[in-house]
Copies of this chain bind each other. A is one copy, B any other.
Amino acid sequence: MGFWGIEVKPGEPYGYQSDEFKGRLHITQATLGLGESKERSIVQCSMGYKSPIFLCSLLPNKNESCPLDLEFEGVDGLIDFSVIGKRSVHLSGYFVDDDRDARDDYES
Contacts and interface: CB of A to CB of B under 8 A. Distances in A.
A82 to B, nearest CB: 14
A52 to B, nearest CB: 9
Is the interface on chain A under 10, 10 to 19, 20 to 34, or 35 or more residues?
A: 35 or more
Interface in A70-108: 70-76, 79, 90, 92-94, 98, 100-103, 105-108
Interface string A35-66: 00000101001010011011111110111111
Contact of A93 (B29, B50, B70): B70
B98 A101 contact: no
Nearest to A90: B54
Contacts of A61: 40, 59, 62
